[in-house]
Structure 1
Amino acid sequence: MRNSRAFAMLAIAILAGFAAVVFASRWLVQASSGATVPVAVAADDINLGQPLNEAMVRTVNWPRDSVPPGTFDNLKALDGRVVRANLAHGEPVLESKLAPIGTKGGLSAVIGEGRRAITVRVNDVVGVAGFALPGNYVDVIVNTQEGGNRTDNQQSISKIVLEKILVLAVAQQVNRDDTAPKVVNAVTLEVTPEQAEKLDLARSVGTLSLVLRNQVDHDILRTGGATKQTLLDQPVAASAPVVEAPKPVRVKYAAHKEVKRDCIGVLSGVSGSQECF
């Protein structure tokens, strides 16, 4: 009798424990599902300029309280969108990293609003030994003749004409994650329309050089350019003063006036005359 009661109590305890486990697991599942939301992330590394498709992204459960703004939970909404920045594996796909809807893939999707892309020919020296990579900033120097005329009486001058210019691509490569130097023959720069005009004129009147600068340096320095005199610290010859031609002097002639003299009358017989002295 006692054994049967003990077995009954044991069975009841086992059933109660199993029920508690079931209810607790259901509560945890419901709590965890309510604390996460689906977020679209990159299924693999994606380079900028690539159009997305459903095979390149997937959804994962992301904590609701830490979801960054601009995420997507629908993979179909990302179909055909172009990436403006590199995405690493597992990185959330944000609206700020995508080009506007309707943009086609390629370098044009990376160009900022109101900007233009222009390509300049470089070599291993002009291209800063291959360290001018996509995502870096450079200054542009032109070496030409003063006044723009290549004559013997003009001296060479080097002048920074553009500052803090973004490098969009080197040759046909736009990947900004690669830090290895690449010696190429062309560099594509992002400029404003006014800067594009200056750059095109600069390469037609002289030779160009690129100067690599720090990415966080935003200072704009205005220089007067370097000439042979400033390079050798020679005094600049003072220019001869301009002598103006003498202005013609107008001579005014006074009207002749008759000089008054003392006169007396002389009578001779019946005739008379006047003598002045």
Structure 2
Amino acid sequence: MRLVFGLVLVVGVALAGFAVYMAQSFIAQTQADRDRLLAEQARAPRLTDVVVVKNPLKYGDRLTRTDLEVIKWQADKVPQGAFNAVVAPQGGDPAIRPVFWEGETRPRAALRSYEPNEPLLAHKVTEPGVDAGITANLTPGMRAFTIAVDVSTGVSGFLRPGDRVDIYWGGNIKGRDTTKLIDSNVRLIAINQSADADRSEETMIARTVTVEATPTQVAALALAQQTGRLTLALVGSNDTEKVGAIEIDRNALLGIVEEAAPVEKEPEKVCTIRTNKGGDIIETVIPCTN
């Protein structure tokens, strides 16, 4: 009997020790999994709210709050101009940038095409109640000015709304054919009569382009278009270099150096006085006093 009791006691102690060992192993594994999860969470990118479109949109399509939704987006990869709320009350948290203020019922319009789940951008959508068009593309304080172009002056078919161009004037200055840079890095807002940068038809030859300019620039461009020929040069999308004054005439282009006209020597000034002697007029040379 004592032997049985002893065996039971030994087995019980062994089972208890095994249970403690298994519990310690489980706790250690749990702690390791917790630490690994915390480390993964610490390394994971921070997420933030971003408003995206639900359905495909084309240029000019109107959109309301029902066409939008909020999703989580990597915080350091949010595009510039993105919204983080569909609707919010005015005067609330300044960190909230809604597409519509509370109570706003007027739709906005897309200024470019959108695919589902693509972030909505402030500079690619009109203000509430404004339809897509040239006026929607104008920066406050700027004006739209149209320039007539052709295949040689309008960079063939490569111009599209949103591009930037340098504008050159060609004409005659003091009897010489001259080309001069009169404005640089000017933004195009429409090609022909369209402000849609997504239209494939815009790769056709432009007949007119509409640029965004200040009132002073508009006056200068109007005068330049009346007195000569305007030519556009497309600026690269990543080009930030400032262009200085550029002017070239026919002689500079061909390397012609004009000889200076000979300077004619003025005849020596002679001063005289006339006297009457016995009815005869006698002219006598005297030194000139001035």
Check whether TM > 0.5.
Answer: yes
The one of 62, 69, 72 aligned to 2:85 = 72
Does the alignment pair 1:59 with 2:49?
no
What does the per-residue CA deviation read over 1:124-166, in whole Å, with 9 as the maximum and x for residues that have no partner? 111111111112111111111115xxxxxx1110111111111
Structure 2: runs of 5 or more not aligned: 1-46, 88-98, 269-290
Q: Percent identity?
A: 24
Partner of 1:258: none
Task: Say if 1:116 and 1:192, in contact at 8 Å, map to a contact too.
Answer: yes
| 1:202 match | 224
Change (3 A) 1:42 1:97: farther
Query: What's the counterpart of residue 149 of structure 2?
Result: 122
The alignment yields a C-alpha RMSD, in angstroms, of 3.6
Q: How many angstroms does 1:88 deviate by? A: 3.3
Helix, strand or coil: the match of 1:208?
Answer: strand
Q: CA 1:213–1:66 in 2, change beyond 3 Å: closer, same or farther? A: closer
Q: Does residue 189 of structure 2 align to residue 168 of structure 1?
A: yes
Greater shift after overlay, 197-206 or 97-106?
97-106
Specify the alignment match of 2:39 in structure 1. none
Looking at structure 2, the residues matched to 243 and 114 of structure 1 have their Cα atoms a distance apart, in angstroms, of 59
| Unpaired stretches in structure 1, ≥5 consecutive residues | 1-34, 148-153, 247-277
Query: SS where residue 63 of structure 2 aligns?
Result: coil
Equivalences for residues 1-277 of structure 1 within 5 A? 39-47=51-59, 50-53=61-64, 57-59=67-69, 61-62=71-72, 68=78, 70-74=83-87, 79-84=106-111, 86-95=113-122, 97-147=124-174, 154-178=175-199, 181-238=203-260
Retained in 1: the 8 A contact 2:190–2:211? yes
CA distance in 2, matches of 1:164, 1:242: 49
- The CA deviation at 1:171 is 1.0
Q: Distance in 1 between matches of 2:55 and 2:115?
A: 9
Q: Is the 8 A contact 1:40 1:93 kept in 2?
A: yes
Contact 1:71 1:95 in 2 (8 A): no
Q: Distance in 2 between matches of 1:223 and 1:237?
A: 26
**Structure 1 residues 214, 105: CA separation in 2 closer, same or farther (over 3 Å shift)?**
closer
Report which of the two has the higher share of strand.
2
- How many residues are treated as equivalent by the alignment? 206
TM-score (norm 1): 0.61
Q: Alignment partner of 1:125: what SS?
A: coil
Paired with 1:66 and 1:174, the residues of 2 have a C-alpha distance of: 31
1:51–1:80 contact (8 Å) kept in structure 2: yes
Distance 1:115 1:239 in 2: 49
Contact 2:49 2:84 in 1 (8 A): no
CA contact (8 A) 1:82 1:109 kept: no
Q: Please report the TM-score for the alignment, with normalisation by the length of structure 2.
A: 0.59
**Helix, strand or coil at the partner of 1:198:** helix
User: In the alignment, is the contact (CA less than 8 A) between 1:40 and 1:73 conserved in 2?
Assistant: no
